[in-house]
A and B are shown apart, each in its own frame.
Chain A
């Protein structure tokens, strides 16, 4: 549905970047393009065309009446964007999305990295158990996870309230407690990716380096901060960007757990807001404009991040 889904994969596509001078210049410039052609064709069909349509629709008046031919399609220029930017709800949803995504990314990275380090410190059996539990959470579809989570926190029948002795406290009534509940679910289903990736990275760090640090008397935290993080930086970059993209466009968890955006829309995030506009109320052009804004924000965030890294002399 969202163009950002394709962006996620685009990040992973390695860009062929031959070091200057190492390859003969006599070979024509065609060869790399030839090799890239299949990937480019797929990307073009799956990424460029939908984004083109998204952008185009965002400049039109395109509601159900236009789709089914009841009224002619008309060009609106930036009309949809000005309607969007003058809507105070859009700004509050945008702010909520940014804060919520930031909180999710930080929590996910913290939990994922901590458990990755833990994995390297425990014996085989607990490691296997932790791995299996994490993979189970990872493999659970978001909608199933959200539903189970809702059951756990149900005011009348949920075990959490019973254990904590909270009576029939409703977790989804307050704005922050509803966001917290969703955050917990998002972290639960996305930390395994961080954990497994970082764990693989730590495994690739030469044992002597860590041993030397330990012999020098470095604490576990010091080893993580001064030895592992610098060596893992490319991996951490990738998981951060991926987490930012995933958490910024979280949809299922909010939609399922807060019943489409919470009481009076208090838990709306951009993706759910776009869905409500585009599909629930058939304002496809306004929904497209929101999609374009999201795409630009994510692209900008990713580019700035890569730029900062490159400024420090590091390559992805």
Chain B
């Protein structure tokens, strides 16, 4: 561009303006919010976010009852419950952390998110209240661990979810196959079924179904990560873990679950395949019971704990489930903790089981409901055999959402990498995150 007198003058006048504008902008660093509580009001509005379940009506009735009891006991407290969609919960809860002014006082959250939310500075430490709460002593240790980070308690377990082996009684019987008692038998049975009935997946598996894959890893003595002084190191590439990964990925392919279809499937897709009669076996949760009952296989299936390595043993299941926690920014801390104890208390959990089938987190209540409802028996047995969870590291949320494990499984089943290479790469990615997250 030729610099004429006119453009030069224009530039001269524009420069200070631009400088002024920049100076104004420089003051606006990216937003950071202050999540510390300012007060502890003993009355007023208490806002609660719970997850919106597929058929939410029964859950709402149980919650309404618990809330009514709470409001009766605490005059001046007004509880407002909002049900947030499960799909977008991560964004909503992040938004709540970002904007304490419009955040709720109490949230329901998935137990794998605990450490991440604590690091984000979103959840309040309720160790003292939890220790003083009489009902909490019956909380099963795995569930208690899912609300514990660094020795402090950040909420109360609401229910646990656990997966077991759903199988078609008619198919196995028709082919003269016994219910598998070991992992090797499970894999062999799956392949036999698929050979005899190519329309069916022997065992429906998914490349994106991490929680279905983890029991194979754990049964072989593998671990996701090992902890040493609060620092996690990935163990996904250890010899035992690789054996588990190899066992799970051996189920993909033309002998059981064709990779072109199964590599992309997640947990729900495998359960849907089973419910629609497209699979002879599937790894499903107690929370999937209703969906399977509603499918075409109703009355033609049974559930057993997922077999481990030794005959008759149980592969450690993933202990999923949700917790209820108080937000650090809550201005009604005492009330919120009280409501948390009401919602996650034994009475409410008992009713939630009756209404929704959610497994209670208290060992005594769980044993009691298992006597009432036989279908939960294999799930309770899986839990009792020792369920495990993901590393309690703030980095886990990021490892989970950046799909490190699904990527690893998909690389193996699509033949892009072998088990050793894929697991080494996954371990490196995990260690990068653990290193950054501390």
Chain A interface residues toward B at CB < 8 A: 20, 25, 29-30, 32-33, 44, 48-49, 52-53, 56-57, 60, 62, 64-73, 155, 168-170, 172-173, 259, 263-266, 276-277, 279-283
Contacts and interface: CB of A to CB of B under 8 A. Distances in A.
A168 B199 CA distance: 12
A264 B30 CA distance: 33
Contacts of A68: 32-33, 35, 94, 97-98, 120-122
B30 A263 contact: no
13 contacts: A32-B10, A33-B13, A48-B21, A53-B30, A64-B116, A66-B32, A69-B97, A73-B29, A73-B30, A264-B414, A276-B402, A279-B91, A283-B398
Contact of A71 (B9, B97, B121, B397): B121
Contact of A33 (B14, B94, B116, B122): B14
Contacts of B2: 20
Contacts of B33: 67-69
Given A68-B94, A281-B401, A263 B263 contact: yes
Given A29-B13, A66-B32, A173 B263 contact: yes
Contacts of A281: 397-398, 401-402
Interface of B: 2, 4-7, 9-10, 13-14, 21, 25, 28-36, 91, 94, 97-98, 116, 119-122, 207, 259-261, 263-264, 394, 397-398, 401-403, 406-408, 410-411, 414, 416
Contacts of A66: 32
Contact of A170 (B9, B10, B261, B416): B261
Nearest to A284: B30
A98 B12 CA distance: 40
Contact of A57 (B30, B91, B402): B30
Contact of A60 (B21, B30, B121): B30
Contacts of A25: 5-6
A268 to B, nearest CB: 11
Nearest to A52: B25
A56 B29 contact: yes
A70 B35 contact: yes
Given A33-B10, A67-B97, A168 B261 contact: yes
Contact of B407 (A44, A67, A264, A280): A264
Nearest to B422: A264
Contacts of A33: 10, 13-14
